[in-house]
A = this chain, B = another copy of it.
Amino acid sequence: MATDSNAHILVVDDDREIRTLLSRYLAKEGYRVTTAADGREMRKAIDDWAIDLVVLDLMLPGEDGLSLCRSLRARSELPVIMLTARGDEIDRIIGLEMGADDYLAKPFNPRELHARIRAVLRRAGSLDRGERGSDVRFGDKPEVLVFEGWRLDLSARELTSPDGLLVPLSSGEYDLLVAFARHPTRVLSREQLLDLARGRDAQPFDRSIDVQVSRLRRKIERDPRDPRLIKTVRGGGYVFTPTIEKF
């Protein structure tokens, strides 16, 4: 489990000033932070990164925070802390009924937010790598991903080869493969892969993804020296080339 201070927080607020303020403060506290200005960006960020917790403004242009929160909740366990401009008790109740894990009225002390983030993360607690970075939060994504004859069972954390043989994967190999299979035909940087599969930031000269890719290829590529499923993009990262047939 990622430590609290290592968690990846998504701040969703239309006010740029608040975004940068929170971003700086939370980064200083050791969190990884991504920001979004509206629902569309929020979904993209959740799609692209392994978000652990969302700080969501109640008032947003377009889709408002409450309906975003509800749509998040309908499909995932992703913790949400709501922000609102007024301290109305009504808003608070609505916010919590919409499934938010906690609630904070503006203006607030950043330390207060930090305290609530810690509390919510501790409560959410049981997050594991298999659920982190999950696309399943949006839409009815399946429990099994099928590609090129392979079957990746997300419930059982099992990979079955086209021959029907169970291929044993280490936990890290599995997480990496899930990260790939959830973002097919897209160049993923080593940084993104680290975040999606490990939930951590890259260190200088970090080669761990390269090595893990190599180990994964050994198990899933017909010819690891001429990989077809996971291709290298020099200077860019890696691409998972198959398209996913979902079941």
Residues of A within 8 A of B (CB): 1, 14, 16, 19-20, 34-38, 40-41, 44-45, 48, 61-62, 93, 96-97, 99, 101-102, 116, 119, 123, 125-126, 128-130, 143, 154-158, 168, 170-172, 184-187, 189, 192, 226, 228, 231-237, 239, 241-243
Contact = CB atoms under 8 A, between A and B. Distances in A.
Nearest to A233: B171
Contact of A129 (B37, B48, B119, B233): B233
A123 B243 contact: no
A74 B241 CA distance: 26
B236 A171 contact: yes
Contact of A61 (B62, B93, B129, B143): B93
Contacts of A40: 99
A96 B62 contact: yes
Copy count, this protein chain: 2
Nearest to A77: B44
A155 B16 contact: no
A54 B14 CA distance: 20
A123 to B, nearest CB: 6
Contact of A130 (B123, B130, B186): B186
Contacts of A19: 119
